[in-house]
Amino acid sequence: MGQLFGRDEAALSIVVPTDEADKYSRGVLGFVTGSARYPGAAVLGVEAALRTGVGMVRYLGPGRPTRLVLQRRPEAVTSEGRVQAWVLGSGQDAAHRDELARTQLEGALAHGVPVLLDAGALDLWPAASGPLLLTPHAGELARLLGIPPDDVLRDRDAAARRAAELTGGVVLLKGAQTLVVAADRPVVRVGNATPWLATAGAGDALAGILGALLATRPDGDLVQTAAAGAWIHGEAARRASAGGPFTILDLCETVPTVVRELVARRPVP
């Protein structure tokens, strides 16, 4: 059956800044996301990451997504520099990868820091030089494994474990119940989301939340961190929904409250 992940477990993944903290010690998260076809993915990922709690975001991408990111979040930095983790591939398509995206993705993968591969970067897992988190939905996982989507849906646990064994990374398989799987560990299940979360942009926001947690805990347990990000995403969606439809920016606006309440639940040292 595996472990059902909840609020108390998620609280353990929140890093609370000290009085000595600065923007670098709080974590710098890099993004190579978005494209001319899907520029909004860049905006949503950066928005979600900043609202989760990270010292700095570096965004690298083409002109239009960069302009939109800066319009929404002028604190984002659009030049290269040190990072503690990367989010790659949201809003991109491997079949339409241009030279700029290829160069930026390859550079990020060579850094040796934790990297999240989403959507249009899932095929790049062999080039990752650091800890690896993959975040496919069922169709993307089927393509990664070269099997029919129905095979993934028939046994999601087995498909996710097969991908973890293939890549050597942690696989977060999206769905009504999110699975977090490493090759040698029990399946972790996160099931607090609302069905209203099945909407465009949800995965982009999830990648941003996960990336922020990776950047603040680059040496943390990757399974724990991934499950915590999924739980925060689901809880923020549930609150934004309140039983009805919502937008992904509504979800992002709810994230700080969810994180604040998790901080309050952390054990006192």
pLDDT in tens, 58-110: 999 999 999 999 999 999 999 999 999 999 999 999 999 999 999 999 999 99
Q: pLDDT at position 266, please?
A: 78
Q: pLDDT at position 164, please?
A: 98
Q: pLDDT at position 161, please?
A: 98
Q: pLDDT tens digits, residue range 125-156? A: 999 999 999 999 999 999 999 999 999 999 99
In a domain, 149, yes or no: no
In a domain, 246, yes or no: yes
In a domain, 269, yes or no: no
Q: Per-residue confidence at 265, pLDDT binned at 50, 70, 90? A: confident
In a domain, 5, yes or no: no
Is residue 59 within 8 Å of 46, Cβ to Cβ?
yes
243 Cβ contact partners less than 8 Å away, ≥ 6 residues apart = none
Q: Per-residue confidence at 1, pLDDT binned at 50, 70, 90? A: low
Q: pLDDT at position 112, please?
A: 95
Token pair of 263 as six digits: 């901080």
In a domain, 113, yes or no: yes
User: Does residue 246 have a pLDDT over 80?
Assistant: yes
In a domain, 131, yes or no: yes
Q: pLDDT at position 269, please?
A: 60
Q: Which of 180, 174, 187 is nearest to 13 (CA)?
A: 180
Q: pLDDT at position 105, please?
A: 97
Helix 248-265 × helix 40-52 angle, to 10°: 20
Is residue 62 within 8 Å of 222, Cβ to Cβ?
no
CATH number at residue 111: 3.40.1190.20
Q: pLDDT at position 133, please?
A: 98
Distance CA 101, CA 189 (A): 33
In a domain, 177, yes or no: no
In a domain, 89, yes or no: yes
Sign of CA dihedral 214, 157, 182, 106: negative
Q: Which of 53, 121, 113 is nearest to 86 (CA)?
A: 113
Query: Based on the structure, what is the number of domains in the chain?
Result: 1
Q: pLDDT at position 3, please?
A: 83
In this prediction, residues 233-245 reach a mean pLDDT of 97
Q: Per-residue confidence at 268, pLDDT binned at 50, 70, 90? A: low
Strands (E), the chain: 3-4, 28-32, 56-59, 85-88, 115-117, 132-134, 170-173, 178-181, 188-190
Look over the chain and give the mean of its residue pLDDT values, rounded to a whole number.
96
Q: pLDDT tens digits, residue range 215-228? A: 999 999 999 999 99
Distance CA 253, CA 236 (A): 8
